Amino acid sequence: MGNLFFFLFIIILALQIYILNSNKPASFKRRNFPRSMYAIGGLIFLNMVLERASIGTYFILIPVGLIIYFSIKNTKFCDWCGYRIDLSLPFRRKGLCPRCGSDIDEKRDYFS
Judged by the rule CB under 5 A, the positions of this chain that interact with Zn ion are 78, 80-81, 83, 97, 99-100
Phi then psi for residue 45, to 5 deg, are: -65, -45
CB of 7 to Zn ion, least distance (A): 35
CB of 76 to Zn ion, least distance (A): 10
CB of 19 to Zn ion, least distance (A): 17
Determine the Cα–Cα distance for residues 74 and 57; give it in Å rounded to an integer: 27
CB nearer to Zn ion: give 6 or 99: 99
CB nearer to Zn ion: give 65 or 95: 95
In DSSP terms, which residues pair with 77 in a beta bridge?
84
Residue pair 45/61 in contact by the 8 Å Cβ criterion = yes
CB nearer to Zn ion: give 23 or 54: 23
In DSSP terms, which residues pair with 103 in a beta bridge?
96
